[in-house]
C-alpha cells in the first residue's frame, strides 16, 4: 500500500508494548507478597501503582511515535 506524499508510515508495531502491563498485572503470583516495603506500603500495592505509571509512559511513547 502506498503512502501519501510527505507522510511516513506509522509505527503500529510499537503497540506490542501494551502487552507488558497486561502480563505484569496478570501474573499475580509474582507480586503477591508483603516485602519489600516502600515508604511503609507493602510490595503488593506499590507494584501495582508502579505499573500504572509505566502504562502511562508506554501510552505516551506509542502516541508520540504514531502522531
Q: Kindly list the averaged pLDDT for each block of 10 residues, start to end, along the chain of length 67.
A: 59 85 89 89 92 95 88
Q: What confidence score (pLDDT) does residue 67 get?
A: 82
CB–CB of 65/17 below 8 Å?
A: no
C-alpha cell at 2: 502506498
CB–CB of 62/15 below 8 Å?
A: yes
Amino acid at each position: 500500500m502506498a503512502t501519501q506524499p510527505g507522510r511516513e508510515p506509522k509505527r503500529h508495531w510499537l503497540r506490542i508494548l501494551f502487552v507488558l502491563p497486561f502480563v505484569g498485572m496478570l501474573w499475580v503470583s509474582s507480586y503477591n507478597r508483603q516485602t519489600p516495603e516502600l515508604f511503609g506500603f507493602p510490595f503488593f500495592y506499590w507494584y501495582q501503582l508502579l505499573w500504572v505509571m509505566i502504562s502511562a509512559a508506554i501510552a505516551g511513547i506509542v502516541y508520540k511515535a504514531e502522531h
